[in-house]
Chain A
Amino acid sequence: GAVVSQHPSWVICKSGTSVKIECRSLDFQATTMFWYRQFPKQSLMLMATSNEGSKATYEQGVEKDKFLINHASLTLSTLTVTSAHPEDSSFYICSARDRDRGLDNEQFFGPGTRLTVL
Chain B
Amino acid sequence: AQSVTQLGSHVSVSEGALVLLRCNYSSSVPPYLFWYVQYPNQGLQLLLKYTSAATLVKGINGFEAEFKKSETSFHLTKPSAHMSDAAEYFCAVSDQYDMRFGAGTRLTVKP
Contact = CB atoms under 8 A, between A and B. Distances in A.
A96 B32 CA distance: 16
B97 A49 contact: yes
A18 B100 CA distance: 28
Interface residues of A, number: 20
- Shortest beta-carbon contacts, A-B, top 3: A105-B94, A111-B43, A105-B32
A7 to B, nearest CB: 13
Given A43-B90, A103-B96, A111 B42 contact: yes
Contacts of A106: 32, 34, 46, 49, 94
Contact of A44 (B46, B51, B90): B90
A6 to B, nearest CB: 8
Interface of A: 6, 34, 42-44, 46, 49, 91, 93, 95, 103-107, 109-112, 114
Contact of B98 (A42, A46, A114): A46
A116 B36 CA distance: 25
A34 B98 contact: yes
Contacts of A49: 97-98
Given A43-B90, A44-B90, A112-B43, A107 B99 contact: yes
Interface stretch (B16-24, B69-77, B78-86, B101-109): B101-109
B56 interface: no
A95 B46 CA distance: 12
A109 B43 CA distance: 7
Contacts of A34: 98-99
Contacts of A110: 43
A111 B41 CA distance: 8
B101 A44 contact: yes
A112 B103 contact: no
A34 B69 CA distance: 28
